[in-house]
């Protein structure tokens, strides 16, 4: 479906039949991580709607909006194969008609980490997700833990604005060598792809070191140095509170190690529970 009106009519039919609905918001270029979101939606709700929308407002002027991979027909087939009931794929004009002027901002959670390196990114995310949630009127919306800061930001936004959709986090899906699945992995050359496995390996080593009692500052500095030595240039490597994303200097509560690196012209993010 291409229009909000058509989406709403279908969801209304399902609701009238007593069926619950889960939304899986995506930017397309689907991989097994997205299909895990569909599976998680099917486990929670009677019907699953996936959306594909490459949202221009969450890309910076020097980011990869124009080259972001688009392959709708393949994505539609993959979603159907995974048991998804409906694909909502609106145009930019349907989402942002002439005169559009509103934005949603979430303070605090978005100030650092990816927020510091991608100005305006989380405003774009919060705004488009508030729209998608209100459009779909779903009972649940599934977001991957791979984009951990996004997951917390969306959960905060939905709670703050009283959007009656439960935000569900779904664990990251990884390749055999540990690399988190991402549509951006497609940008990597074969050599870069092989080297990218050092990214999760380094984070796992830092996690294990912190758990084993290495000082947080030391473990993070070692991870940063190891990534740099491999040509995976970190934007940040940080240990943060798993709920507030405030810095954690001593591991006395649930935390998350989060990092973004640049490998050639590709930027990758990952995170792990500690």
In the complex, least distance from residue 245 CB atom to its own copies, rounded to whole angstroms: 11
- Rounded to whole angstroms, the Cα distance separating 94 from 98 reads 10
Order across the sheet with 266-273: list the strands: 233-241, 255-263, 266-273
Residue from 34, 85, 117, 121 carrying the catalytic annotation:
34
Q: For the purposes of burial, counting CB atoms within 10 Å of the CB of 101, is it exposed (0-12), middle (13-18) or buried (19 or more)?
A: exposed
Order across the sheet with 140-144: list the strands: 86-88, 47-52, 21-26, 140-144, 166-170
Out of 10, 85, 121, 156, the residue judged to bind its own copies by CB under 8 A: 156
In the complex, least distance from residue 162 CB atom to its own copies, rounded to whole angstroms: 4
Task: State which of positions 106-135 bind its own copies (CB under 8 A).
Answer: 106-109, 126-127, 130-131, 134-135
**Alpha-carbon separation of residue 188 from 27, 266, 268 (angstroms):** 19, 7, 10
Select from 51, 56, 73, 54 the least CA-distant residue to 4: 51
Stretch that binds its own copies, among 17-25, 70-78, 154-162, 173-181 (CB under 8 A): 154-162
Task: State which of positions 157-186 bind its own copies (CB under 8 A).
Answer: 157, 160-164
Closer to its own copies at the Cβ: 104 or 269? 104
In 10 A of CB 264, how many CB atoms? 14
Residue 104 interacts with its own copies (CB under 8 A): yes or no: yes
Residue 137 interacts with its own copies (CB under 8 A): yes or no: yes
In the complex, least distance from residue 217 CB atom to its own copies, rounded to whole angstroms: 27
Residue 189 marked ligand-binding: no
Residue 252 interacts with its own copies (CB under 8 A): yes or no: no
Closer to its own copies at the Cβ: 109 or 227? 109
Closer to its own copies at the Cβ: 8 or 71? 8
Known catalytic membership, residue 117:
no
Closer to its own copies at the Cβ: 34 or 155? 155
In the complex, least distance from residue 243 CB atom to its own copies, rounded to whole angstroms: 9
**Alpha-carbon separation of residue 232 from 180, 205, 211, 266 (angstroms):** 15, 15, 24, 10
User: Which residue has tokens 């939606």?
Assistant: 41
Element (H, E) at 183: none
- Rounded to whole angstroms, the Cα distance separating 130 from 35 reads 22
Closer to its own copies at the Cβ: 93 or 162? 162
Stretch that binds its own copies, among 102-110, 181-189, 245-253, 256-264 (CB under 8 A): 102-110
Cβ atoms of 89 and 144 within 8 Å: the answer is: no
- Rounded to whole angstroms, the Cα distance separating 91 from 16 reads 28
Active site residues: 34
Binding site for its own copies (CB under 8 A): 4, 8, 99-109, 126-127, 130-131, 134-135, 137, 156-157, 160-164
- Binding site residue list for ATP: 27-34, 144-147, 173, 181-184
């Amino acid at each position: 479906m291409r229009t909000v009106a058509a989406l709403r009519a279908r969801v209304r039919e399902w609701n009238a039949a007593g069926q619950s609905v889960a939304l899986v918001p995506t930017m397309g270029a689907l991989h097994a991580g997205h299909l895990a979101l569909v599976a998680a939606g099917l486990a929670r709700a009677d019907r699953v709607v996936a959306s594909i929308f490459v949202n221009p407002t969450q890309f910076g002027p020097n980011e990869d909006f124009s080259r972001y991979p688009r392959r709708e027909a393949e994505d539609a087939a993959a979603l159907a194969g995974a048991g998804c009931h409906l694909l909502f794929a609106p145009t930019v004009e349907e989402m942002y008609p002439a005169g559009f002027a509103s934005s949603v901002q979430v303070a605090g959670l978005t100030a650092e980490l990816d927020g510091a390196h991608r100005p305006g990114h989380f405003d774009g995310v919060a705004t488009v997700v508030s729209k998608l949630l209100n459009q779909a009127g779903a009972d649940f919306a599934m977001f991957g833990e791979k984009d951990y800061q996004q997951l917390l930001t969306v959960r905060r936004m939905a709670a703050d604005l009283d959007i009656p959709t439960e935000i569900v986090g779904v664990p990251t899906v990884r390749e055999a060598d540990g690399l988190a699945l991402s549509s951006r992995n497609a940008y990597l050359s074969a050599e870069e792809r092989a080297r990218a496995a050092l990214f999760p390996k380094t984070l796992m080593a830092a996690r294990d070191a912190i758990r084993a009692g290495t000082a947080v500052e030391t473990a993070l500095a070692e991870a940063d140095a190891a990534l740099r030595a491999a040509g995976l240039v970190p934007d940040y490597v940080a240990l943060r509170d798993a709920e507030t994303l405030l810095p954690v200097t001593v591991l006395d509560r649930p935390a998350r190690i989060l990092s973004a690196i640049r490998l050639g012209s590709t930027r990758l993010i990952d995170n792990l529970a500690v």
